[in-house]
Amino acid sequence: MSRARAFVFAVSLASLTVLSACSGGHEDQPKAAPQTVSGETLTVRTAPIDDIKRVGATLTTRDMGEAVARISGVLVTLNVREGDTVSKGQVIGTIQDQRLNFEASAYAATAAQAEADYNRVKTLYEKGIYAKARMEQAETALRSARAQRAAAGDLASQGLIRAPTSGKVIRADVPAGAAVMAGTSIATITAGPRVVRLQLPEQQARSLVLGQSVRLEANGLNANGTVSQIYPAIDNGQVIADITPQGLDSVLLGERVVTAISLGQRTGIKVPLSYVTTRYGLDYVRLVAANKSVSDIPVQTAPLDGQSVEILSGLRDGDTLAPYGVSK
């Protein structure tokens, strides 16, 4: 045997010795025992679950009172601003029309003249100078003048703007000194309790029921509500419903509210949150095999009611799950 061949043989023999040693050491290490479960488990089944939809709504009041101008003229004063509380019948502004004031003054002067003429004719009639027909003529003229004076005064007094209802002013954006027409809205006042007003397509609205519970979310606040009214008319394919909220007193009127409302039922797999965990953006459940061993498998979920989720994929009927934290 040459020296070169002897060297190659020695190197090969050393390599085999090292590999054998390494292999033997690996076999000696103990294998990890499979994780098993004991105690509570859950067998999943397909069953009807509520079809929860998240729909935008608006916080408002049941009714809105509009304080409008009854005559045309200049808005001389406006005594309220947004956020003020007013009472029904309270004077909140004044509109002035000089033409109406002039007419009222003219009719007042005419009524005063008719009253003076009546008194003079009455005196002469009692002395037998004037006939009864002249007396009746003066009396008729006095009644007509008084009626015209009352009508002119009432028309001029319509420049007072009064609150149509008790509540809070949410809009008063017409500045004092502005010219307004009859029928112009000067201020908007809330009337009635707060409600969350919801609009739904008519096909979905058929599932609404009076007294139905609704979850609400507004400005970071979570609250509950109840469907208190479903309006009978359809507007552009939309049905309007009012939800009476509980716990949204600090939310401003007009603010958007997200509602989670049940619009019927569908079949699916519902699992409590204690059986689901999230790691690195993925949801997992603990699947229990026939030999009681458990393994984490990924699933796709959708939120339901805050206490459970719907399994969209990853499980089937009859699978058994273990809650997280229960193993041995």
DSSP code, position 101: H
pTM of the predicted protein model: 0.55
Domain count, the chain: 4
Distance in angstroms (rounded) separating the CA atoms of residues 131 and 148: 27
The dihedrals phi and psi of 163, each to the nearest 5 degrees, come to -70, 125
Structural domain including 293 reads 42-49+268-322
- 219 and 314 share one domain: no
SS (H, E, C) 14-81: HHHHHHHHHHHHHHHCCCCCCCECCCCCEECCEEEEEEEEEEEEEEEEEEEEEEECCCCEEEEEECCC
- 245 and 207 share one domain: yes
Predicted pLDDT of residue 34: 58
- 80 and 127 share one domain: no
Predicted pLDDT of residue 7: 41
- 128 and 273 share one domain: no
With CA atoms as reference, report the closest residue to 259 among 239, 275, 244.
244
- pLDDT tens digits, one per residue of 66-102: 888 888 888 888 888 888 888 888 898 888 876 766 6
Predicted pLDDT of residue 100: 66
Predicted pLDDT of residue 12: 47
Tell me how far CA of residue 143 lies from CA of 116, 121, 152, 196, in angstroms: 13, 15, 14, 55
For residues 278 and 269, the answer to whether their CB atoms sit within 8 Å is no
- pLDDT tens digits, one per residue of 198-247: 988 888 777 888 888 888 988 888 888 999 988 888 888 888 999 999 88
Which residues in the chain show pLDDT less than 70?
Answer: 1-39, 98, 100-102, 104, 152-156, 325-328
Residue 182 belongs to a domain with what CATH number? 2.40.50.100
Residue 307 belongs to a domain with what CATH number? 2.40.420.20
Predicted pLDDT of residue 282: 92
- 93 and 164 share one domain: yes
Containing 137, the helix (H) or strand (E) segment is helix 132-157
- 168 and 202 share one domain: no
Predicted pLDDT of residue 283: 92
